[in-house]
Amino acid sequence: MSNLVIDIKNLSRKFGDKQALSDVSVAIPEGGVFGLIGANGAGKTTLIKHLLGSHFAQSGSVSVFGVDPVREPVHVLSKIGYVSEDRDLPGWMKIQEIIDFTKAFYSNWDSTYATELMHLFELKPNQRVGTLSRGQSARICLLLALAHRPRLLILDEPSSGLDTIIRRDILTAIIRTTAEEGRTVLFSSHLLDEVERLADRVAIIHQGRILLQNSLDSLLESFRRVTLRFPDSHHVAPGLEGCLNGRGKEHDWSYVHRGTPADLLQAASFAKAQILEQHPLSLDEIFVACVS
């Protein structure tokens, strides 16, 4: 695939005995919004830290804008805007100071945009970073990440601490605008409704492994909940190709099916089962089905 902004191949990472990432491969083309979904501790932040060059690849390779972020941190970081999950900004600095300080590192810093964002986020230039609430810290982090109009915007749990209005209106608008300008957004979240609303492509990460990776539309199309009636009575869910999470009793069993409608028909006819009903799944339901 050409124009890959992020190209991770067979990345594995261990911290002591804990396998944080296992054989992860992700390819993200330029433009669009990529959502990284996973439960807490699934490996989202570790994966992001590899993109920033904060962790080296123990095995496999990581390439951002065609280069290794560990070897070429300046080349990579100058094109990335990053909002970390823990919002660890220097608490002793004032908002104006941290803006002026950060500005010195980016040749394409847009001061007008920074001022606009400062007003939008209702930040006071004289306020010390250490006195900010969690929501305000998230806002200043967003400002610092956005003001140099990065080619890749990485948001690690961006909604954490943000109130509903900022989250639904402003964050959404920022992410969509960034993507529409041809730039790339990678954001991790465990709020699946948010990912469903914003992302063009998604990856589900669980226990350090990528379970699924596809465009959101394809993903939603390829999953459905089906209820089947079997001719014989069963105590446990009968196994069917492409069907997960069987629930029910005796003749009627409900499944999450992954595949095309034709695949479902084929699987049902093979098991001599009758399809009683089927309906599409939300991302939330798909996630639960995949990880449970």
Partner 1 sequence: MQSYIAPLAWEYYARNRWKLLLPLIANIPASLVLLPFAGLESAVAVKELVPIQIVLTLSMVLIVGFSVQASQGSLSRFYLKPISTIQLVSFYYWTGALLVATTVATLLALWQWIVPLGFPIAGSVLFAVVCWCSFQPIVRGVLNSLGWILLVFVLLSCLTIWYLQHYGIQLRRGGMMDSSIHEWASLSRADILFACFVITVSFVLTTWRVSQDRCRTEQYDWIFVEKFSQFVERLLGRRSCTQKHFASPSHALRWFDFKHRCSVEPLLVVINSIAMWVSAVLSVIATQNLQYIPSVVASSMSIVAFMQPCIALAIPMISYIGISMRIPQFLESSSSYRTLGIEPYLFRLPVQSKVLAATILRSSSLSSLLGFAVLLTSFTLAGILGQILNTQMAEAMGLKIPYWKFVLISSTVSLIATFAFSLSSIAFIPLVIRSKLWIAPFVILALLLSFKWSIPIAIAGAILIFVLCILVAATIIALMENDVSVVYTLGIWTLGIGLVFLTLKTFPDPPFSIQSLLTIAVIGLAMLPWFSTAATLRKVRSN
Q: Kindly tell me which of 15 and 270 has the beta carbon lying closer to partner 1.
A: 15
CB of 280 to partner 1, least distance (A): 40
Q: Kindly tell me which of 52 and 202 has the beta carbon lying closer to partner 1.
A: 52
- Beta-bridge partner residues of 24: 11
229 near partner 1, rule: CB under 8 A: no
Segment lying near partner 1 (by CB under 8 A), choices 83-91, 173-181, 195-203, 273-281: 83-91
Exposure b/e, 138-177, CB count within 10 A at least 16 = b: bbbbbbbbbbbbbbbbbbbbbbbbbeeebbeebbeebbee
Using CA atoms, how far apart are residues 214 and 15, in angstroms rounded to an integer? 28
223 near partner 1, rule: CB under 8 A: no
134 φ, ψ (degrees, to nearest 5): -60, -40
CB of 77 to partner 1, least distance (A): 4
19 near partner 1, rule: CB under 8 A: no
# chain residues binding partner 1, by CB under 8 A: 38
Using CA atoms, how far apart are residues 245 and 292, in angstroms rounded to an integer? 8
Q: Kindly tell me which of 58 and 218 has the beta carbon lying closer to partner 1.
A: 58
User: For partner 1, what does the binding mask look like between residues 40 and 79, x meaning CB under 8 A?
Assistant: ---------x--xxxxx-------------x--xxxxxx-
CB of 33 to partner 1, least distance (A): 22
Using CA atoms, how far apart are residues 110 and 242, in angstroms rounded to an integer? 50
- By the 8 A CB rule, do 43 and 197 touch? no
Among 7, 9, 19, 103, binds partner 1 (CB under 8 A): 103
Question: Which residues would be at the binding site for partner 1 (CB under 8 A)?
Answer: 15, 49, 52-56, 70, 73-78, 82, 84, 86, 88-92, 94-97, 100-106, 125-126, 128, 130-131
